[in-house]
């Protein structure tokens, strides 16, 4: 016996578009399907959007998710920026704000700005906080998904064990999701362009280096929520450069945007991008070398996961093909030919909006999950009647 939440999944994924198709696909009675569908319509989860082709008689109404009745608020927090968005229930942004802000200012300052930005976007859109059904934030660190607390981040002093999710609980009685930024970006890229790909790896190279992995449409986080820490693989333990984690010779201390900027006598990865885009030969050479250094580790990742696509994101994705060229050179040289035969190595299609889109998808998947929908509808266990036909 399928619940209303499970019926919604059939409509969401296009498996069934009409009541008749739901009856035929599930074997449930007409009265049971009518009950489930009417409850979903009354609660604003779905609506009738036109009619389908009919072989005779009255054309059946097409059922679709109502993406406009509920809203989501999401935030993408990087080492030096904060971006927020108000989206509909299809993860489509309706309004956005962005500011330059150092995350090392601490949770109180950063999250206060996010809360205020959320309210500004709702006010401008003429929508009420009560229309928000979920909130999501990504951060450049590892997160405990059970508590919404930051586990660890070398880029976020003062944030360890901070209850990020609780910062919004007083104003919004909705699910609050907290995620690693590279994970959110990876899911955003997969959702927007690569849904036919079973495995995607995204590498964010900016101040540091982070990696997000999507397997079969879901984020792979690892046992300790720490999967993707490629930036702290040690390549040269005798190197003089000390990484933010305190070790020497980490990939991040050799190949991140900050590392390249330091070698060139500048302060940030954005400085490197400007130099490369201006055609500075030293900056181009150092950028390509950094790409080759990261490629040494990524070649192992490719051999281990055999992904369909490798996406370069973050500031260094803006270096026109130069960082990517270094990655491609080493990955193709050091990986077995059959592991790279169908591998695409590309730059991000969403740019610096990948995290926002990914967080919206994460929240959407949570609030539209069968268990969440059934809980909202007050469904307990298998409700309804049996598999008779009317």
Which residue would you say has higher pLDDT here, 16 or 56? Answer: 16
Per-residue pLDDT tens over the stretch 241-264: 788 777 888 899 999 999 999 999
* Residues 33/7, Cβ–Cβ less than 8 Å: yes
Which CATH number is associated with domain 184-352?
3.30.420.40
DSSP 160: T
pLDDT at position 151 is 81
Report the sign of the C-alpha dihedral through residues 303, 214, 4, 19, in that order. negative
Domains of the chain: which residue ranges?
Answer: 4-66, 71-182+363-369, 184-352
Per-residue pLDDT tens over the stretch 35-61: 999 999 999 999 998 666 655 556 788
CA 163 to centroid of chain Cα atoms: 20
pLDDT at 121 over 50: yes
Residue with tokens 């389908």: 52
**Among 298, 219, 213, which Cα is nearest to 255's?**
298
What is d(CA 78, CA 53) in angstroms, rounded to the nearest whole number? 48
- Which fold, 4-66? Arc Repressor Mutant, subunit A (1.10.10)
For 71-182+363-369, give the CATH class.
alpha beta
pLDDT at position 388 is 34
pLDDT at position 382 is 42
**Among 362, 364, 347, which Cα is nearest to 76's?**
362
Task: Please tell me if the domain spanning 4-66 has the same topology as the one spanning 71-182+363-369.
Answer: no
pLDDT at position 49 is 83
User: Rounded to two decimals, what is the model's pTM?
Assistant: 0.90
pLDDT at 390 over 60: no
| All residues at 6 or more sequence positions from 368 whose CB lies less than 8 Å from its CB, including other chains | 8, 12, 45, 65, 89
């Amino acid at each position: 016996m399928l619940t209303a939440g499970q019926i919604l999944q059939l409509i969401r994924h296009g498996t069934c578009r009409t009541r008749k198709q739901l009856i035929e696909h599930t074997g449930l009675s007409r009265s049971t399907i009518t009950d489930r569908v009417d409850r979903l319509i009354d609660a604003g989860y779905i609506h009738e959007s036109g009619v389908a082709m009919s072989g005779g008689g009255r054309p059946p109404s097409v059922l679709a998710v109502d993406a406009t009745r509920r809203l989501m608020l999401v935030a993408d927090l990087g080492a030096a920026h904060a971006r927020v968005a108000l989206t509909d229930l299809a993860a489509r942004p309706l309004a956005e704000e962005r500011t330059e802000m150092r995350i090392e200012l601490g949770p109180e300052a950063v999250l206060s700005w996010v809360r205020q930005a959320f309210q500004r976007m709702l006010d401008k859109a003429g929508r009420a906080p009560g229309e928000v059904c979920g909130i999501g934030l990504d951060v450049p660190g590892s997160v405990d998904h059970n508590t919404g607390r930051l586990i660890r981040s070398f880029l976020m002093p003062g944030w360890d064990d901070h209850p990020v999710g609780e910062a919004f609980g007083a104003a919004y009685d909705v699910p609050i999701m907290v995620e690693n930024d590279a994970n959110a970006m990876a899911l955003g890229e997969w959702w927007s362009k690569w849904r036919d790909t079973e495995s995607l790896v995204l590498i964010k190279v900016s101040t540091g280096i982070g990696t997000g992995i999507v397997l079969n449409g879901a984020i792979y986080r690892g046992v300790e929520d720490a999967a993707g820490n490629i930036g702290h693989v040690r390549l040269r333990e005798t190197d003089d450069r000390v990484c933010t984690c305190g070790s020497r010779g980490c990939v991040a201390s050799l190949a991140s945007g900050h590392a390249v900027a330091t070698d060139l006598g500048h302060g940030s990865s954005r400085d490197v991008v400007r130099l490369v885009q201006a055609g500075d030969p030293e900056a181009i050479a150092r950028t390509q070398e950094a790409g080759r250094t990261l490629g040494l580790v990524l070649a192992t990742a490719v051999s281990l996961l055999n992904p369909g696509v490798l996406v370069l994101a973050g500031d260094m994705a803006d270096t026109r093909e130069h960082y990517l060229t270094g990655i491609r050179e080493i990955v193709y040289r050091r990986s077995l030919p059959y592991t790279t035969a169908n591998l695409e190595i590309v730059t991000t299609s969403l740019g610096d909006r990948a995290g926002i889109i990914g967080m919206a998808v994460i929240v959407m998947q949570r609030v539209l999950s069968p268990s969440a929908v059934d809980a909202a509808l007050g469904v307990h266990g298998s409700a309804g009647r049996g598999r008779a036909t009317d």
